[in-house]
């Protein structure tokens, strides 16, 4: 086991753990809304169905990734990771600068609960609707987790550490969420999103380069250097966006 | 049909939020690929990738902050 392997593994675990934490908190809020309005049975059944579909996707699609030549795989996944990571980074910068509103789990819970209560008065088969809501939440947030785990893990043989990071995050959110029975609104969602955006952009850029045949100096250590660069730029862009916003407001 | 378009839209939304950012990143990657094809030094192409992505992000933030 080389030091570069440990560096890459640690980055992969940190990335999938933090990203999954964000997604799991969002999914849990919706499961909580379903559980509060209609009981835990449809909520847990919907969640279990969502997890089953995700597992099926991984089992069916997973082996196909090994059929794609590594360099092409790295290029495609690198492009997708870069788009995904920079999208998160941009949103986190805009939120930190006060340009767009922060994501509020309490607000999401209130909106989801109100929506389900409205349906309760108008729909005879609410259990189905509630289960479907839980299913959709787990599937949509879970697809992002699966994508990040595969993208970060497969290309460098780090699928296991990447998956461990994701499973650990989901287990922590599930355990704490079920214990407190409240949305995990105190999780610093935007800070996590910023950190994940930095890490995914670094992984993405690294792999786009590898896919194009660029041999990065320092091999896997280049991921850390790229992450530091995105971090510094991201922090500078927050100040930049605050400045623009303040000048516009006079 | 409705489900297929929902799935496609959801998949696209995973990667594209601001069209300018997505188009800019893709343009930088295409540019870097062209530079690699014509035999430019890897260090230079790496620099184009890094600089290009940061410029696109800065412009996207500038655009978003000015409009909102």
Please give the ipTM for the structure prediction: 0.90
Q: Which residue has the higher pLDDT, A58 or A201?
A: A201
| Residue carrying the six token digits 């949305």 | A183
What is the pLDDT, as a whole number, of residue A87?
94
Mutate to test the interface with A, among B25, B35, B44, B51 (most CBs of A within 10 A): B25
Q: Which residue has the higher pLDDT, B36 or A63?
A: B36
- Confidence grade of residue A125 (pLDDT, cut at 50, 70, 90): low
- Confidence grade of residue A166 (pLDDT, cut at 50, 70, 90): very high
Structural domain span for residue A26:
3-242
Total domain count, chain A = 1
pLDDT at A124 over 60: no
Average pLDDT value for residue range A242-248: 85
pLDDT at A121 over 90: no
- Confidence grade of residue A1 (pLDDT, cut at 50, 70, 90): low
With CB atoms and an 8 Å threshold, state whether B21 touches A87. Answer: yes
Average pLDDT value for residue range A24-39: 86
Distance from CA of B52 to the nearest CA of A (A): 11
Cβ pair A37, A116 in contact under 8 A = yes
What is the pLDDT, as a whole number, of residue A177?
87
- Looking at chain B, which residue has its C-alpha nearest residue A246? B65
CA pair distance A12, A214, nearest whole angstrom: 21
With CB atoms and an 8 Å threshold, state whether A94 touches B26. Answer: no
A61 to A53, A54, A132, A150, B55: CA distances (angstroms) = 12, 10, 24, 10, 35
- Which of these ranges, A8-17, A65-74, A115-124, has the smallest mean pLDDT? A115-124
What is the pLDDT, as a whole number, of residue B60?
94
With CB atoms and an 8 Å threshold, state whether B18 touches A233. Answer: no
Q: Is residue A22 part of a domain?
A: yes
Distance from CA of B11 to the nearest CA of A (A): 9
Which residues, at least 6 apart from A124, have a Cβ–Cβ distance to it below 8 Å? Answer: none
- pLDDT, tens only, A195-215: 999 999 999 999 999 999 888
Q: Is residue A250 part of a domain?
A: no
Residues of B in contact with A93 (CB under 8 A): 61
Average pLDDT value for residue range B43-62: 94
- Confidence grade of residue A112 (pLDDT, cut at 50, 70, 90): confident
Q: Is residue A248 part of a domain?
A: no
- Confidence grade of residue A225 (pLDDT, cut at 50, 70, 90): very high
What is the pLDDT, as a whole number, of residue B66?
79
Q: Is B29 on the interface with A (CB under 8 A)?
A: yes
The answer for A 133-172 residues in CB contact with B (under 8 A) is 140, 143-144, 147
Q: Is residue A50 part of a domain?
A: yes
- Confidence grade of residue A33 (pLDDT, cut at 50, 70, 90): confident
CA pair distance B10, A207, nearest whole angstrom: 24
Record the pTM. Answer: 0.84
- Confidence grade of residue A189 (pLDDT, cut at 50, 70, 90): confident
Q: Is residue A100 part of a domain?
A: yes
pLDDT at A39 over 60: yes
- Looking at chain B, which residue has its C-alpha nearest residue A142? B14
- Looking at chain B, which residue has its C-alpha nearest residue A248? B66
pLDDT at B48 over 80: yes
pLDDT at A96 over 60: yes
Distance from CA of A85 to the nearest CA of B (A): 8
Average pLDDT value for residue range A13-40: 88
What is the pLDDT, as a whole number, of residue B32?
95
With CB atoms and an 8 Å threshold, state whether A205 touches B53. Answer: yes
Average pLDDT value for residue range A67-95: 91
- Which of these ranges, A61-75, A162-176, B54-68, has the smallest mean pLDDT? A61-75
- Looking at chain B, which residue has its C-alpha nearest residue A85? B15
Q: Is residue A146 part of a domain?
A: yes
The pLDDT mean for chain A works out to 86
With CB atoms and an 8 Å threshold, state whether B50 touches A82. Answer: no
Q: Is residue A127 part of a domain?
A: yes
Q: Is A237 on the interface with B (CB under 8 A)?
A: yes
What is the pLDDT, as a whole number, of residue A123?
61
């Amino acid at each position: 086991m080389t030091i570069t392997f440990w560096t890459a593994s640690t980055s992969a675990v940190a990335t999938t753990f933090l990203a999954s934490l964000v997604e799991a908190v969002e999914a849990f809020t919706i499961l909580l809304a379903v559980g509060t309005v209609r009981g835990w049975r449809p909520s847990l059944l919907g969640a279990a169905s969502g997890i089953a579909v995700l597992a099926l996707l991984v089992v069916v699609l997973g082996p196909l990734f090994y059929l794609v030549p590594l360099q092409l795989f790295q290029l495609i996944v690198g492009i997708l990771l870069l788009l995904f990571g920079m999208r998160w980074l941009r949103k986190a910068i805009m939120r930190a600068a006060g340009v767009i509103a922060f994501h509020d789990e309490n607000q999401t819970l209130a909106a989801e609960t109100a929506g389900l209560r409205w349906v309760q008065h108008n729909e005879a088969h609410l259990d189905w609707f509630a289960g479907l809501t839980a299913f959709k939440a787990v599937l949509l947030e879970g697809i992002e987790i699966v994508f990040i785990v595969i993208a970060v893990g497969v290309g460098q043989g780090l699928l296991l550490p990447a998956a461990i990071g994701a499973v650990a995050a989901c287990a922590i959110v599930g355990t704490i969420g079920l214990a407190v029975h409240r949305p995990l609104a105190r999780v610093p969602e935007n800070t996590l999103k910023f950190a994940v955006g930095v890490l995914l952009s670094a992984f993405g850029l690294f792999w786009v380069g590898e896919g194009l045949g660029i041999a990065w100096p320092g091999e896997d250590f280049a991921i850390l250097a790229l992450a530091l660069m995105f971090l510094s730029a991201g922090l500078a862009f927050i100040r930049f966006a605050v400045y623009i916003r303040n000048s516009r407001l006079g | 049909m409705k489900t297929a378009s929902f799935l496609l839209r959801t998949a696209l939304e995973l990667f594209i939020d601001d069209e300018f950012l997505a188009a800019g990143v893709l343009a930088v990657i295409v540019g870097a690929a062209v530079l690699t094809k014509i035999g430019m030094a890897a260090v230079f192409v790496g620099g184009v990738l890094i600089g290009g992505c940061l410029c696109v992000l800065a412009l996207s933030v500038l655009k978003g902050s000015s409009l909102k």
